[in-house]
Amino acid sequence: MFARPNPERLKLLNHNEEQRNLKPGHCNKFLHVVIDPDFLKEPHGSQVLPKLTELGCKYELMTQPCSSTITFYRCIPAKLTTTTVALSDTRADEPFAIHLLDGATFVTYVRNHQLLAAVRSMKELLPGRRLSLLVFGLIGYCREHRGCVGRRETEQALTEVQLHEDISHQLLESSEQVASFVAQLARSIAERPYKQQQMDKYTSCEQVYLGNEKKGCVRVEGTAGLQQLYQAQLIKIPSVTLEIAEAIMSVYPTMRSLMEAFRAAGIADGPVLLANITIRRAGGPITTANRRIGPELSRKIHSLYAATNPKQEV
């Protein structure tokens, strides 16, 4: 007779698995890229499938409502429960799409003032999706057909669709560029739940909370962590070591106190304010052999925190 599964243990296992699947790299395998066959035609589509395979995303060839279009959906893995151990995966459509226009078609739309109407027709066929417009081979087409369309006319048409329909666009000239854009967007979509989770984690209406999961990040929650952040900021200044940062903080324990001291010292005394601060070597006692910060480094630190000229070199 088998023992009944522990609900808390199943819940913990399920949570850990969900978090692992959200992380960059793992999340790619749950994203499905649905590609219209026309998108893969030469000369623009030859590198798309290898790029997606390298990324680890699954792809499907399927005729789309709008030709030369790519859409995305995510498979959400089944959850473990105390009553069942396997459920079918859930499909969730992603609100993004890519449409590719060749240079000749794009020029025709622009010259006939039909680009905005064409984009609106595409969006009607792809409801609920934010469209990215790829224009392939425009420069090459314009070189072969001199005077076919003006630069100002092109920019005006692209600006019009961007403002009226919230459409982003890319002007691409090689199959490698097309494949790279598709792969970059696919990666961003795959990582979207993880990034949203991180944003929710570090954003709160009730308190100031700054931080992320990257190595070397100093988390700030309320006032906790401000001291470490102050120290880390000082160490980022060239020639400022941990011992020098600690020496400055022993006299000016907060960033505010340092800034107020610079303002009180004025233009004449501010640059040398830190010059005579003694540096403890590896946390040891202050002796006559210990060195000081010196006027040159003091001037650099003062320039960084007190300069009003944005072009001034430190």
CB contact at 8 A, 176 and 47: yes
For residue 98, count CB atoms less than 10 angstroms from its CB and return exposed for 0-12, middle for 13-18, buried for 19 or more: buried
Which of the 8 DSSP states describes residue 38? G
What CATH class has 226-306?
Answer: mainly alpha
* Spatial CA neighbour of 176 closest among 60, 45, 52: 45
* Spatial CA neighbour of 272 closest among 251, 299, 233, 291: 299
CB contact at 8 A, 97 and 68: no
> What is the pLDDT, as a whole number, of residue 237?
87
CB contact at 8 A, 185 and 96: yes
Question: What single letter denotes the amino acid at residue 179?
Answer: A
What CA–CA distance (Å, rounded) separates 205 from 209?
Answer: 10
Letter string b/e over residues 226-253, b meaning 16 or more CB atoms within 10 A of that residue's CB: eeebbbeebeebeebeebbbebbbeebe
Task: Please check whether the two domains, 20-79+88-202 and 226-306, share a CATH topology.
Answer: no
What CA–CA distance (Å, rounded) separates 248 from 245?
Answer: 5
What CA–CA distance (Å, rounded) separates 131 from 161?
Answer: 11
The answer for residues whose C-beta is within 8 angstroms of residue 193's C-beta and 6 or more apart is 22, 27
Question: What single letter denotes the amino acid at residue 101?
Answer: L
CATH number of 20-79+88-202: 3.40.50.10130
For residue 186, count CB atoms less than 10 angstroms from its CB and return exposed for 0-12, middle for 13-18, buried for 19 or more: buried
What CA–CA distance (Å, rounded) separates 166 from 186?
Answer: 19
Domain extents for the chain? 20-79+88-202, 226-306
**What is the pLDDT tens value at each position of the chain, 314 positions in all?**
445 556 777 777 777 777 787 788 888 888 999 999 999 988 888 899 999 999 999 999 999 999 999 999 998 877 655 555 555 678 889 999 999 999 999 999 999 999 999 999 999 999 999 999 999 999 999 999 988 888 999 999 999 999 999 999 999 999 999 999 999 999 999 999 888 887 777 665 554 445 555 556 666 666 677 888 888 888 888 888 889 999 999 999 988 999 999 888 888 888 889 888 888 776 555 555 568 898 899 999 888 888 777 777 76
The answer for residues whose C-beta is within 8 angstroms of residue 39's C-beta and 6 or more apart is 45, 48, 68, 69, 70, 98, 100
What CA–CA distance (Å, rounded) separates 8 from 12?
Answer: 6
Where are the extended beta strands (E) located within 176-234? 209-210, 220-221
> pTM (2 decimals)?
0.66
